[in-house]
């Protein structure tokens, strides 16, 4: 079967986008089907692969998370007018009314099968009105990333849902490999290193800048040489402004010297191995990222403890003994758990081991790809 894949960002390196990694890793493992993907005409391209065709577009550069109008028209024309025989289309995008209304008619007129992949029920709710949500789903199958999302959509009357957890490339994140170099002074050589790998906008909305800074200050009181590593992608001027705002807050608390700011990091496995633990704090749903953030799974696979918020669907990770879900959710709660794991090396090692086992069992890309293969075969 020939499957055309629609994503908001072009399928190009670097490996800094969860959806991009999932799309590629599934296609590379499901060899019996052929995949067409839109990539950018600019920058590096992927190596040739037997069952993947990359369609180079000049209308959008890699890194942009919103399609330009010309990119939308280009993707649409490839779906409707392409001389290639396209049997099914899979959409890795958050649906909105105009999008869904258009493709519902196009697919019906052309007799093509379809799959919608909903990477975040929180983002869907943020972008759409409640009474619009039932009409957003038109595909033969709707893939969701958690049991929570599946129950939520079923509550809206969406019947054809399939829960497939996001998966990660075990070989890439669990191997030792060659350590990449980071700027001098990034890490505390004689202290502890704590990683936040995420997005400033999401951090501010789901937790708060002040909350993470207060957490850091409490940890630094116990470990004066502790270093907090901020690996946050800067995709826009707004991101750069938020970074400056965050740095200003660390200055106000006198802890700037205990922070390192790396922005985009292409070699995340090396970064994980440099850090003692990770933190993904939240007291509100995290819209704008995968509802199960990939970085939590990736760091867990590296054998490092990772702390995260008590917000759905992250309780599904806690049920699988993956990481530590921080109940209560205040800065002091996070600081207490961080200090506890830093002081109790045996417990930290145990959390890291159980987390890695959970990823291997539930979020291994080989397991996930097999579920997608069954889904494609069913169409």
Q: Domain boundaries in the chain?
A: 2-167+364-378, 174-362
Residue 222 in this model has a pLDDT that exceeds 70:
yes
Does the structural domain 174-362 have CATH classification 3.30.70.260? no
pLDDT per position as a tens digit, 318-363: 999 999 999 988 999 999 999 999 999 999 999 999 999 999 999 9
Tell me if the pTM is above 0.85: yes
Label residue 162 exposed, middle or buried (CB < 10 Å: 0-12, 13-18, 19+).
middle
Q: Secondary structure of the chain: what % helix, strand, coil (to 5)?
A: 45, 15, 35
2-167+364-378 shares its CATH topology with 174-362: yes
State residue 141's pLDDT score. 97
Distance CA 53, CA 98 (A): 28
pLDDT per position as a tens digit, 113-161: 999 999 999 999 999 999 999 999 999 999 999 999 999 999 999 989 9
Task: Return the CATH fold of 2-167+364-378.
Answer: Rossmann fold (3.40.50)
Residue 17 in this model has a pLDDT that exceeds 80:
no
Distance CA 213, CA 256 (A): 10
* Lowest-confidence segment of 19-28, 54-63, 288-297 by average pLDDT: 54-63
State residue 179's pLDDT score. 55
Pinpoint the alpha helices (H) of 111-208. Answer: 121-127, 147-155, 170-174, 200-206
Label residue 211 exposed, middle or buried (CB < 10 Å: 0-12, 13-18, 19+).
buried
């Amino acid at each position: 079967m020939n499957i055309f894949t629609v994503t908001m960002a072009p399928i190009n390196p670097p490996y800094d986008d969860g959806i991009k990694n999932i799309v590629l890793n599934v296609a590379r493992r499901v060899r019996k089907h052929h995949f067409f993907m839109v990539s950018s005409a600019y920058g590096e391209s992927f190596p040739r692969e037997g069952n993947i065709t990359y369609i180079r577009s000049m209308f959008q550069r890699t890194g942009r998370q919103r399609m330009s109008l010309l990119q939308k028209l280009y993707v649409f024309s490839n779906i409707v007018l392409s001389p290639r025989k396209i049997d099914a289309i899979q959409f890795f995008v958050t649906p909105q009314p105009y999008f869904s209304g258009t493709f519902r008619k196009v697919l019906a007129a052309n007799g093509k099968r379809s799959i919608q992949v909903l990477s975040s029920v929180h983002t869907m709710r943020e972008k759409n009105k409640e009474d619009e949500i039932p009409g957003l789903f038109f595909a033969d199958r709707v893939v969701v990333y958690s049991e929570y999302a599946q129950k939520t959509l079923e509550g809206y009357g969406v019947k054809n849902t399939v829960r497939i957890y996001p998966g990660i490339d075990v070989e890439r994140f669990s191997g030792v490999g060659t350590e990449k170099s980071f700027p001098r002074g990034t890490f505390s050589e004689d202290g502890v290193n704590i990683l936040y790998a995420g997005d400033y906008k999401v951090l501010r909305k789901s937790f708060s800048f002040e909350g993470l800074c207060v957490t850091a200050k409490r940890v630094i009181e116990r470990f004066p040489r502790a270093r907090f590593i901020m690996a946050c992608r800067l995709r826009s001027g707004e991101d750069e402004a938020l970074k400056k705002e965050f740095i200003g807050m660390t200055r106000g608390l006198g802890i700037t010297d205990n922070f390192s700011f790396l922005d985009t990091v292409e070699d995340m496995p090396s970064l994980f191995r440099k850090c003692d633990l990770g933190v993904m704090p939240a007291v509100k749903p995290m819209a704008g990222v995968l509802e199960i953030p990939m970085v939590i799974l990736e760091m867990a696979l590296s054998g490092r403890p990772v702390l995260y918020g008590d917000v759905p669907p992250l309780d599904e990770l806690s049920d699988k003994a993956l990481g530590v879900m921080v109940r209560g959710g205040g800065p002091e709660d996070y600081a207490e758990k961080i200090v506890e794991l830093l002081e109790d090396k045996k417990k930290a090692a145990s959390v890291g081991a159980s987390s890695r086992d959970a990823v291997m069992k539930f979020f291994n890309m080989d397991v996930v790809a097999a579920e997608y293969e069954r889904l494609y075969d069913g169409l």
